[in-house]
């Protein structure tokens, strides 16, 4: 079925994104896996080619695309390379940067956004804590007033871009008595005294993504470092989470679709018992089911992207997109591994890495159980 969400301008940008990826990303994927991170050269090259500033106004060095669909196109193309690429890129350009664009002061925008667009400043979002998981309202990292300064103590974990990030937009508790209404966002630069990082976390998948623990020991900040309003951090996060979850959903479907296309080709070429394995009725029916699943999921993602481009996507619709896309992704990739047989369990095959990489998508950006809880509440349950 022909997709109708993207016009000629979006498809022209898709070609530009593909050209950049083929030239600057694909030749280095093995290096990225070995380094367990995307090097600064990746970010600088992305910035040079206009791949980091789609949501940044022109006066701060971005291209200000003014249409979320361009970001969705880039997420899809990066997902075809591997799940870690839209993840790391998305955390920076699609998740963290919009906090600064939409909530930052003029001084903060001038201070941070040009570097974010060029790749000289890499960002991350500091939400998750060792004891909190998906429960953002229960965070324990604190910022305590000391004269004209704030003193931050605590830690974060599972932070994408955390090991190499230069700026972490971090959620901290500024008023312990107010619960969720006592949380504030701070832009914490890695150069601040008292800021430190743990090791790169050893994950099951997404090896190209640098994921780390962050520690704050008497980090001193000022009101100039507050992103948004004092004690409004939880509200700000709730307002931004739908875009984060939609970005995840777009990448989930595109990632699974690419591996499924490659698996179809494998099923046509792989011979067993005198014929292609795709000709066996079970495999033929299975592939028919998988392609249908992907196309139906893609149609819903397109509807959500179109709605978000018009600023009409609700938090519940984004939650549906996030949990459903990750579930479909998981089912499709598991079947693709099975169709590859023993080769599907070998790391040298993309399907094996894709299968491992995809498992976390049912956990992050709010676990699928939390997504269902949000949907259930909307149903009045």
pLDDT at 2: 86
Position 138 pLDDT exceeds 90: no
pLDDT at 321: 98
Residue 377 in tokens: 């509440």
Q: Say whether 207 is catalytic.
A: no
pLDDT at 1: 79
Average pLDDT over residues 298-316: 97
Of the residues 76, 129, 213, 244, which is catalytic? 244
Q: Does residue 259 contact residue 350 with C-beta atoms inside 8 Å?
A: yes
| pLDDT, tens digit, 9 for 90 and up, residues 266-297 | 999 999 999 999 999 999 999 999 999 999 99
| pLDDT, tens digit, 9 for 90 and up, residues 74-105 | 999 999 999 999 999 999 999 999 999 999 99
Position 166 pLDDT exceeds 90: yes
- % of the chain surpassing 70 pLDDT: 99
Position 132 pLDDT exceeds 80: no
Buried b (16+ CB within 10 A) or exposed e, 224-243: ebbbbeebbbbebbeebbbb
User: How many angstroms separate the CA atoms of 298 and 318, rounded?
Assistant: 14
Q: Point out which residues pair with 152 in neighbouring strands.
A: 143, 219
| Strands (E) located in the chain | 123-126, 142-146, 149-160, 167-173, 183-189, 195-200, 211-221, 226-227, 271-272, 275-276
pLDDT at 219: 98
Position 141 pLDDT exceeds 80: yes
pLDDT at 26: 97
Average pLDDT over residues 204-224: 97
pLDDT at 129: 94
Position 135 pLDDT exceeds 80: no
Position 134 pLDDT exceeds 80: no
| pLDDT, tens digit, 9 for 90 and up, residues 322-349 | 999 999 999 999 999 999 999 999 999 9
Contacts of residue 255, defined as CB under 8 A and 6 or more positions apart, other chains included, come to: 79, 80, 82, 83, 86, 329, 354, 357, 358
Tokens 């920076």, residue?
Answer: 92
Average pLDDT over residues 51-65: 97
Average pLDDT over residues 8-31: 97
Average pLDDT over residues 54-83: 97
CB atoms within 10 A of CB 179: 12
Mean pLDDT computed over every residue of the chain: 96
Q: Does residue 160 contact residue 123 with C-beta atoms inside 8 Å?
A: no
Alpha-carbon dihedral sign for residues 145, 147, 150, 152: negative
pLDDT at 38: 97
């Amino acid at each position: 079925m022909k997709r109708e969400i993207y016009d000629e301008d979006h498809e022209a940008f898709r070609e530009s994104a593909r050209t950049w990826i083929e030239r600057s990303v694909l030749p280095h994927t093995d290096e990225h896996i070995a380094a367990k991170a995307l090097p600064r050269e990746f970010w600088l090259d992305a910035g040079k080619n206009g791949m980091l500033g789609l949501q940044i106004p022109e006066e701060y060095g971005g291209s200000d695309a003014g249409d979320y669909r361009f970001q969705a196109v880039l997420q899809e193309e990066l997902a075809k390379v591997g799940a870690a690429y839209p993840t790391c890129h998305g955390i920076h350009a699609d998740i963290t940067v919009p906090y600064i664009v939409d909530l930052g002061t003029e001084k903060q925008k001038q201070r941070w956004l040009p570097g974010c667009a060029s790749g000289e400043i890499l960002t991350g979002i500091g939400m998750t804590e060792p004891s909190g998981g998906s429960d953002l309202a229960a965070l324990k990292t604190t910022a305590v007033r000391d004269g004209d300064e704030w003193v931050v103590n605590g830690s974060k974990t599972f932070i994408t871009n955390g090991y190499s990030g230069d700026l972490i937009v971090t959620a901290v508790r500024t008023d312990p008595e107010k619960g969720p209404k006592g949380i504030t966002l701070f832009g914490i630069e890695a150069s601040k005294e008292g800021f430190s990082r743990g090791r790169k976390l050893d994950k099951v998948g997404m090896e190209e993504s640098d994921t780390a623990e962050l520690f704050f020991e008497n980090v001193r900040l000022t009101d100039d470092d507050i992103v948004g309003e004092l004690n409004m951090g939880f509200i700000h996060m709730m307002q931004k989470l739908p875009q984060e979850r939609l970005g995840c959903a777009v990448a989930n479907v595109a990632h699974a679709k690419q591996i499924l296309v490659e698996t179809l080709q494998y099923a046509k070429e792989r011979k067993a018992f005198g014929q292609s394995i795709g000709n066996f009725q079970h495999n033929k029916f299975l592939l028919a089911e998988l392609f249908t699943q992907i196309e139906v999921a893609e149609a819903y993602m397109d509807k959500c992207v179109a709605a978000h481009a018009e600023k009409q996507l609700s938090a519940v619709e984004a939650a549906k997109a996030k949990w459903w896309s990750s579930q479909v992704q998981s089912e499709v990739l598991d079947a693709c591994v099975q169709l590859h047989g023993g080769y599907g369990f070998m790391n040298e095959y993309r399907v094996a890495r894709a299968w491992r990489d995809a498992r976390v998508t049912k956990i992050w950006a709010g676990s699928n159980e939390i997504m269902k809880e949000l949907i259930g509440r909307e149903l009045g349950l």
